[in-house]
Structure 1
Amino acid sequence: MLEKTKIDYEKAVLIGVINRQQNEEKVQEYLDELEFLTFTAGGEVTKRFVQRVEIPNPKTYIGSGKMLEVEAYVKENEIGSVIFDDELSPVQQRNIEKQLRCKILDRTGLILDIFAQRAKTSYARTQVELAQYEYLLPRLTGLWTHLERQRGGIGMRGPGETEIETDRRIVRDRISLLKKKLSKIDRQMETQRGNRGALVRVALIGYTNVGKSTLMNVISKSDVFAENKLFATLDTTVRKVVLGNLPFLLSDTVGFIRKLPTQLVESFKSTLDEVREADLLLHVVDISHPNFEEHIASVNHILDEIKASDKPTLMVFNKIDQYVPVELAEDDLVTERNSTHFTLEEWRKTWMNRSGNSVLFISALKKENLDEFRKRVYNEVRDIHVSRFPYNNFLYPEHLDEY
């Protein structure tokens, strides 16, 4: 009989800073997300350190006093990783590593690690590997710990520098090779997209962990991997969906996140071609998250970056079954208000419905209000299809419920 193995989570601490760009409330919100990222990567956060720093210390990012406080905690509690919410420079990372003598990660490095764990296909692994090498290249000097004696020894500087330069050249060659490999795969994928014919293309987009894959499974009756962790989906999945007698292609794309590493945006731009070439976007939002408005803004920012912000879009507010108003959630004396207290008419009266027919409220997990969702998507796809094939419009009624 096989025994269940207990997952050993690596102990980690988080570090954030308060400055003009982010107040204390914002920092705690970012650290909440960073803690979820750490959990997704296999870590357990035991403590958070926050310091008010207008200008980051060029050597150690945070002040020397706070560094001593972190150092004492790390030694006392056998911490395996110290994770910073903002990106560290190679010099900062090297100096912090020397003082704390444990793994030092920034937000970018942590996300890259999660992507490396989640990448399943050859295409996704190639994209992640390229991003990792581009992130690693300027940090190589900090990784040559076995050359420590050569760095400081008289007459031993040459071999150390030579080995580092050799390694840099190897990494640059690898980056060049990976870019060529991605370019080849991109051409193959472009051919595949061209072979799909003139079917209307619909893309699910949104912040990570908002329920896109769950919605994909419900609508397409497929089994796309879905999990309550960040970046459960890396590879774009495309399924043919038929509503009534109207077929279209539905794609589930990689989730977005605030402070998305530049390397990942560049590496995954080809994956986001599914978004660029879509005829209709379904922007899924986790309405139960207290900061979903900022999630919307983050997604819109990335859509601007990939030049896809002008596409027809339906806002799909998901997880209405988990929504709790902030003023009630903070009051322990008041029963938490959930979807049983909110009718669809009440949802439609909120500010979130100001876009009129471009907004929907659903629960993909509980399958609430999916009939209206299907009708709305059907009508949108039908309009696009009719404009593309004006002579076939007699095949499709005005509304899905006419069948």
Structure 2
Amino acid sequence: MADILDIDAAVIGAGPAGLIAAEQLAQAGARVVVFDGMGAPARKFLLAGRGGLNLTHSEALPDFLARYGAAQTRLAPAIEAFPPDALRAWAEQLGQPTFVGSSGRVFPVAMKASPLLRAWLRRLDQQGVQLRLRHRWAGWDDQRRLRFDTATGVANIAARATVLALGGASWPRLGSDGGWVPLLAAKGIAIAPLRPANCGFTTAWSALFADKYQGAPLKNVALAFGGGGGVVRGEAVITRDGIEGGAIYALSAPLRDAILATGEARLMVALRPDLSGDELALRLAKPKGKQSLSTWLRKTAGLTPAAIGLLQETTHAAGRALASLSPADLAALINAVPLRLTGVASIARAIASAGGIALGEIDDDYMLRKLPGVFAAGEMLDWEAPTGGYLLTACFATGVAAGRGAAKYLGR
């Protein structure tokens, strides 16, 4: 592509944050070009929508904002300016109505990202937004023009304002590989190390247990972590070398931080959290008769094969036999299975990443204080949130804030 020498705004990154920033700029009358290193836009967004696109959450805004932890105060103005209801209305305008699921999560009726993305790209095209793919950002040249590596060489782009929306470092094969970190660090921008968020963890399963139960779910469990995570109800999934799943993701930040600080985290799993210890002990006091241990536990305590396997794995590791436990001890173990987590799953497999540009580096318009005319949004910034629609909402909201900030900078 020939160099573009005179555009109002360049948006780098064609994910939700970048595309919504481009939309804000185009609505303000700016000439906008979106650049992305991949061969198609919004690759990670499409992956997120394969199993049902969780756009946002329906809970009250104060509770919603609390999900952002230490970043709540800094993110609140952007989310309040583009709250969950505004995101739902935006999707509706694109012909993609939404509904609230039983968990309070909000999904498009189509339950996919692709129809929403197609309609969105059509509208952006109608607004005059140009899309340039296979353009990998490589920083700035000595004339402060944006540099891109392309299939045909280097492109140097002059833009009056730039919005960076390059994502974090999770799912790098889809484009977010953290390659921007050294480019901004060289400009003196403070960047917190990128770390896995909403991720799985490793533990030392026996080969027998891993072979038999990898991929098996632990449904309707309660997970407890004393290091600040509290108790989370939901589902976990046994992996070859550890554990992951929705309930695990909800505790991933404190678990990750504990492991990074001390080398391990102790997670307690309640397999039948709706039954008290006394009720479980009463059930387990019934004679087993000629039933196998697994059949007896399935019938008396309502445990799945994977849950029973986890109990056997735990007692075997402690040098005990599950069958030797008294009803009271077995009842106590069922609702307090200890898991020693010793590692964090790779950031490449994490749903999102924590870390990024320190929030103190951006002003109220999401412009980098040390780089006038350069704005940042989305997962590039140092915040994290659990799954449930909070991740996408903040990406959209910060993208809107950065787009509006860039339009303001351009005098639009």
Higher relative contact order (Cα pairs below 8 Å, separated by 6+ residues): 2
TM-score normalised by length of structure 1 = 0.23
Higher strand share: 2
TM-score normalised by length of structure 2 = 0.23
Higher helix share: 1
